[in-house]
Structure formats: C-alpha cells, structure tokens
Structure 1
Amino acid sequence: MRACRPHPRALLRFAYLQEVLWEMAAYWCRCLRYAPLCGRGRCPVDATACAAALPAVLAAWGSLVRANFYVFLRGEVPERFYLAVAKAASRLFTHLAQDGYILYEDLVTEAAILFLEVSRRKVYPPPTPATP
C-alpha cells in the first residue's frame, strides 16, 4: 500500500477536510518510507500519528469499515512497525466500534481530529507564559 494521496472517496465526501486529508496522506507516506527503520527500533515517525493518518488513504467503499481496519498492513510493512501502528489504532479508534465495525464517516472525521492533535503536539509546543 504505497498511497501517498488521500483516497478519492475521502476527498469527495469530506471536501471541508481536504487540506487535512492531504497532510494525513503525506504523513502516512512518510510513515511508509521510515517503516524499515521502525522495524529495526529506530523510528523517526510517531506510531500514533501514523495510525491517525492511515484512514485518509484507506480504500473503503462501503459505509462501514472493520474495526481492525489496519490488519491489511501485516506482511506489507515490518512486523515491529505493524504492531506499533496496530496498537495505536486500536487505542485511538476502539470507542467508535459497534459490533466490530466503524462508520467510514466517523472514522475519517475522528482520525482527522486525532491527527491534528497528535501532529501539532509534536510540532508546536505550548506557548510559554510571559513573565512580568
């Protein structure tokens, strides 16, 4: 899965999130690029941000997505990286699952929110209070 662009369905359905979806897809591409390093224990990307970015490139055509949508990664990426992303994804999205499925709209929307929280936290530290 070498998708470095958002899935067309996500772009069409979430026109108001296009900028974020492109950012998520770019980060997912970065995750894939560094996955071999993560497999060796020197991971320069955040597994939580990778898990949050994954739904942007997910090829889901129905209205429901399996709650463990990340399983297709097994065998595609190094095992250590897969386990880190799977653990983060299950932690991030478990609350959305109902009977083992997640609504596609809920997944992408929640992923965008979480991705912005996680990626911004890493890039922009909180401002320091001004001292009088």
Structure 2
Amino acid sequence: MSKRLRNCIRGKIPKVDAVRDLLSGIDPEEVQKIHEGTIDTLKKNRVFREGTIGGYVVAGIDGVELFSSTKKSCPDCLIRKNRAGEMEYFHRSVVCMTVGKAPHVILGKEMLKSRDGAEKDEGELTGGKRLIFFIKMHEPKN
C-alpha cells in the first residue's frame, strides 16, 4: 500500500495528490452500479415506507458547484470569467436527495454539460429534467 493511502486510512487529512491518485483508480460506472443497487435494496427493505409529509417521502433537487480552477481544465468543464477577468473552469451537478426524516439518501446526480455552440452552459433546469428522467427509468417495476 502506498504511503499516501496509509495516511488516509490513519485519519490524517490527505493531500490533494493522494485523493487524486486514489480516485483515478475508481471506475465511475462501477460506483454507479453500486449506488443503484443500494437504492434498490433500500426500496426492497421498505426504508422509504413512512414519509414525513402526509405519509409521502419527499425529495429535493438542487444544483451544486463541485470545484473550480483558473489553471486546470478538462473537456467537460463549464467556463466563466471571474472578477479578475480570468477564465475560470468549473463543474456543476444537479442532485436529488430525500429530505425530512432520516435516512437522507442521494437518489441520483447529473453533471451539467458545457456549451455546445450556444452562448451559455447548460442550466440546472435542463440537468434536473434529465435527472428526473434517469431516476424514473431506473425505478423498479412492481
């Protein structure tokens, strides 16, 4: 095991390089399948059977900015000019999560896409619609 990973396990705050190295070895599709399996298990075990508003389980959808940089970028980055007039590269996501009674479960997330010839990057509304469609398509059939 690398020294960086050992430091993460012992409880020290990891350096950004250690986190990057650790995350670069993870397959996002595998994590997505694990997440979907977890949500399916929660539904089968009837974790969501007692809601907090009139017996319903309530979920909220909101956008969140994950990180930004004026130096590093990737092809999927969203772009804006900061106050200093520099180009700033960032990523945003729309997340759907249960609210109210615990457990608070993330039901899904959708990354917002960068501009494709238009003047503006994709907004939260468009990403939210795509997220709702994704969650609806992955509902178990009763």
Instruction: Give the structure-2-normalised TM-score.
Output: 0.21
Structure with greater strand percent: 2
Instruction: Give the structure-1-normalised TM-score.
Output: 0.22
Structure with greater helix percent: 1
Higher relative contact order (CA 8 A, sep 6+): 1
